[in-house]
Structure 1
C-alpha cells in the first residue's frame, strides 16, 4: 500500500514560508481508490506532486514519510526513485491534459519518449503494439498515434494522458482533475474509462478534484483538505453520508442536487498560507466556531475509520 504520514511541503518565498501541505496523513491499499477534495489552493495537487517526488524549488518536502510498498520514497536517491518507483509503481495523470503533451510530438512519440526515459524501450514495433493496446483500453483508435496534440479534442487528449500513465503497468495512478475543462458528456466518458480500467487492470486510484459528484462515482475513501490541512477522512459513505466537519458540510451544501433545494455558499476566502490563522484554519469562515477553535485541532477517530479535525467532537 501507499502510506503517507504527517507530510509537510513548504514553499520558500520572499514574503515568507508558504505551508502548502502541513501535516497530512492517509493510506491507499492495493485496488482501492482515494478521493481528495477541497477548494483550489488547499494543497491537493501539491500532495500528489510530493508522492511523485516532483516538488521543485522554491518548494521542499520538509517533513513526514511516504512509503510506497517496500520503498521509503523520501529517503531514496533521485535516480533510484525515477528508475524503480516513478511510473513503474506510481504514475500520474497531470492536471490539464492540454498542457501535458508536447505540441511537436505525435502521440506515438510520447509513448516512445516515456519508455526511453525509464530505460524500457526495446523496438518501435513493441512500443507501437503496447501503445495500441493501451489506447484501445481508453477507447481510442490506432490512428490517433500519428496525430499531434492540436489535432485531438479535449477528451481525446485526456484519454491519451491516461494511457501514458498506464504505460509501465503501475499499481497506483494519481488522476489530478481528470475531468476539468471537459463538457458533461465527455466527463462521463472519462469517469467510465477510469472505472473500467480499475476493474481490468486492478490499479489503485488517487483522484484529485473539487467535484464531489466525480468523487462519489470513483472513490472508496475521501480525504477532505482545507488550507494545507486534512480536516476529514474516512469511507465514502461516512464522509459524504454523514459529514462531521463544518467545512465538509458546507461543501456538500454548495453542491447542486437533482432533487433541488437551496444552495449555500461558504463566505470569505481561503487564508494566506504564508500567514495562516492560529488554531483551526477554517475558524474565520466557520459558522460553528467557538473559543477553543483558537487552538489547533488534531485528527481524531470519531467513529470507526471516520476521522475529523474539529473541536466539536
Structure 2
C-alpha cells in the first residue's frame, strides 16, 4: 500500500470513543501523508529539479503541525453528500497549502513580525526572509497544481470549479484583500476607525473566505445541488466568522505556551476585532449565535450532518 493509499484508508477509519476528535485526527493524519508525498524531495514529472533548501523549508512550514480543520471540513462535507473522499482529501490538502503559505507570509517582519508559529521558529527565522517569500509562493502554486490534477478529480468541470473557488477565496476579494484591510486597520496607511460592519467584512475576507470555501469544496466534490451549496455556504460563512471571533478571544486569554505563538499582539497592534467592539461577553454570545446559524444551515441533512455540527461547536470551544 502506498502512503497515499494509506492516507485514503485512514480517512475512512471509524472513530471508537470520541467520534469527533478521532475523525479530526484521522483526517489530519491523512492530510499529513498526502502532503508529505507532494512535498517529497524527488523531482516530479514536468519539473527540472526541486531545490533542496526550498523543499526543506516548504516541509518545515507545512508538516508536523496544525489541526487541519480546513481539509477536515472539505472531507466531511463531501462524506455527508456521498462524494469522493479521496477527491475531497486532495482538494482540502490544496486549501491547507494556501493556508500554510498565508501563515508564512503573515509571520514576516513586514506583516505581523512573529518569531514563533506552532511552538517553533517561523520560517523566516529558521531560514531567511527571501526563502520564506519563495516558500509561500511555491506552496500557493502547488495548491493549484493539485486542484488541476485529474489524478484526484477526473471530472474537468469539478476541477475548474475548485480552481476558480480557491482563487476567489484566497485572492484580492478574499484572503489577500482581507490581509490588506487588516494592515490598514492598524493605521499603517493613515488614520482609520472601523465599526462592527467594517470589522465583519475584513474578517469575512481575511479568515472566513478560505474556511467557507473549504466547506464549498466538499460540496463541489460531493455533487451538491445549487440549493445544497447555498445552505453549506451559509454554514461555512458563519463558521468562518465564529472561528475568527474565537481566535480573537484566545489572543486575549490564552497563554503563549498553549497557542504556540505570542499572544496579545493584536491588541497592541490596534487590529480590528469584535472583542474590542463587543467586549468578551458579547463576543462569546456572538459565537454561540453563529453556532446556531451553522446548525440550522445543515439541519436538512439530519444525523448525517452531526460531524459538521460538532465542528462548529469545536471551533468556538477550542483552547488553542
What is the TM-score normalised by the length of structure 1?
A: 0.26
Q: Which has the larger radius of gyration?
A: 1
TM-score by length of 2: 0.26
Larger relative contact order, structure 1 or 2 (CA cutoff 8 Å, min sep 6):
1
Greater share of residues in strand: 1
